[in-house]
Amino acid sequence: MQSSLSLSFASSSSPLMPRSSTHTFELVSISSPKQLNFRFCGLRREALGFTALRRPNESHGAQSWSGRRNCKKLLASLSGNGSPSKGFDYDLVIIGAGVGGHGAALHAVEKGLRTAIIEGDVMGGTCVNRGCVPSKALLAVSGRMRELQNEHHMKSFGLQVAAANYDRQGVADHANNLASKIRNNLTNSLKALGVDILTGFGSVLGPHKVKYGKDNVVTAKDIIIATGSVPFVPKGIEVDGKTVITSDHALKLEFVPDWIAIVGSGYIGLEFSDVYTALGSEVTFIEALDQLMPGFDPEISKLAQRVLINPRKIDYHTGVFATKVTPAKDGKPVIIELIDAKTKEPTDTLEVDAALIATGRAPFTQGVGLENINVVTQHGFVPVDERMQVIDANGNLVPHLYCIGDANGKMMLAHAASAQGISVVEQVTGRDYILNHLSVPAACFTHPEISMVGLTEPQAREKGEKEGFEVSVAKTSFKANTKALAENEGEGLAKLIYRPDNGEILGVHIFGMHAADLIHEASNAIALGTRIQDIKFAVHAHPTLSEVLDELYKAAEVNVHVSSPVNEPVAV
């Protein structure tokens, strides 16, 4: 939760201005308050019960009261959730109230748009209810269990701990309670801002027109489709929700099997392997490609396999498809039939207690009315341009219609969806802002964690060959970091992929303690176009894990010493 105070006003003729710096006011014109940053007028804090609005060194005198009084005037002027454009019920209607839709709605109201959000299921979408949020609750438990079970690790601190155990229902309740809390927070934040929450399945009827529920129709100047995704289940796999499950079912933790097969070794599969092995299960990975963790940088994958797979009760089959998975019934186990991914010849049959299908996610775009606007999906994804504007079957942009998040397939991450939603709001309010997807970080919350941003080393070298530039790599180890050693967590690696001719950061990959938190310094550097020769002068507190990145930048050898901007980031 941010704590600075920044109010910015701009007339309709004024260009868009950056937000004012921390603890300052920037008053340019109040004749037309269309550009408002009222994050700290109590709107975002209201849902969580915060009411204080005072700069740290400011007294309770006239200046402080004046600031609060001006803030109240702003709130009063915006209490109606903006005034819609002429001829429309709303300036913006968002179909889908997941993280992407929520982020777009918050930013839209901040920009003065009258906004409505349509939700046909539950507030928060996949991430909050069946994804990122409850899975982190389970992973928090697995992390603690793993530490308590590691007798050698505890003795190294001089600690003696009795045998650790867990209550399955208590663990499941923790995940469910967290999801419920975050869901309520999202709902309260929208209500506090005056966003209209429309309940019912939403679909596009035509230009500027949206239907929700049975027969309700609203109009809007602009429409965003943010309907998210569902677990992808390949043909031949029978999901019963009990012994053959998807991540949706697994997050309920209705039972902990002695032996579970996980089909797919990407983010979802890896995280659940961390949970199940910490709770006592044996795990078998089934991966179609020739190596585990195919989406990660190869060097990071090898190290992660040595730490996350090999020492644990995990075995694996690579280069095979699970062509048929039959749920357990009549006293028989779950049966999994495997074939060679290349020859398609049968290779093995597994009998396990349960199977988790973690083969990715599929866009949820059926029934959203795309046929009414002549839009044809590509493998279920809604085609969009770099501004998230929808493209019809003839290759033309559909005016005033946008699609964000998993539904467009550009980057299937909750925070990417939110960033895309914010970029759309910037577009419709007059600023040509394009999100650079290469600056969007990703993380896998295993123990230790994996994080990344930008290109992998093979991708960077391929790009370098095509565009004619050299690629270099720098690395640092967590074993040289004081904070990591104090925690007895020296297992880890940070890797920087860059251009030695100009210092451009092409990619950063981290495996180690709190990697998911550390990656954002690199992510922001890429987003801002910061060069290595500049960022290596940044000061990091000692002793902290952030010094892993400090050492990483200092280890890079850049041929130029004169600071100059990197080329503008391109949208991907």
Supply the residues annotated as catalytic.
542
Backbone dihedral angles phi then psi of residue 406, each to the nearest 5 degrees: -55, -30
Would you call 364 helix, strand, or coil by DSSP? coil
384 forms beta bridges with 390
Pair of tokens at residue 263: 């089909």
Residue type (1 letter), 329: K
Residue with tokens 């720098």: 474
Sign of the torsion angle spanned by Cα atoms 15, 19, 25, 30: positive
Cα–Cα distance measured from residue 496 to residue 191, given in angstroms and rounded to the nearest whole number: 43
- 560 and 502 in contact (C-beta within 8 Å)? yes
Which residues does residue 317 pair with via DSSP β-bridges, in sequence order? 286
450 sits in which H/E element: strand 449-454
Q: Exposed, middle or buried: residue 476 (CB in 10 Å: 0-12, 13-18, 19+)?
A: buried
DSSP code for 438: G
Alpha-carbon gap, residue 203 to 125, rounded angstroms:
16
């997050």: which residue's tokens? 251
Question: Cis link prior to 448 (omega < 30° from 0)?
Answer: yes
Task: Please state, in angstroms and rounded to a whole number, the distance separating the CA atoms of residues 94 and 53.
Answer: 31
Phi, psi (5° rounding) for residue 530? -75, 135
Q: Which two tokens stand for residue 20?
A: 């004012």
The candidate with the shortest Cα–Cα distance to 407, out of 98, 61, 187, 83, is 98
Continuous H helices in 43-200: 44-46, 62-78, 99-110, 125-130, 132-149, 151-156, 168-193
CB–CB of 556/532 below 8 Å?
Answer: yes
In whole angstroms, give the CA distance from residue 116 to residue 192: 13
Please answer whether residues 494 and 521 qualify as being in contact, where contact means their C-beta atoms are separated by less than 8 angstroms: no
Q: How many CB atoms lie within 10 A of CB 144?
A: 14
Tokens 């032996």 belong to residue: 259
Q: Under DSSP, is residue 118 helix (H, G, I), strand (E, B) or coil?
A: strand
Name the residue among 517, 474, 509, 473 with its Cα closest to residue 492. 509
Query: Does residue 441 contact residue 450 with C-beta atoms inside 8 Å?
Result: no
- Coil, helix or strand at residue 155: helix
Task: Provide the 8-state DSSP code for 252.
Answer: T
Helix (H) or strand (E) holding 418: helix 414-428
Local structure of 339: helix, strand or coil: strand
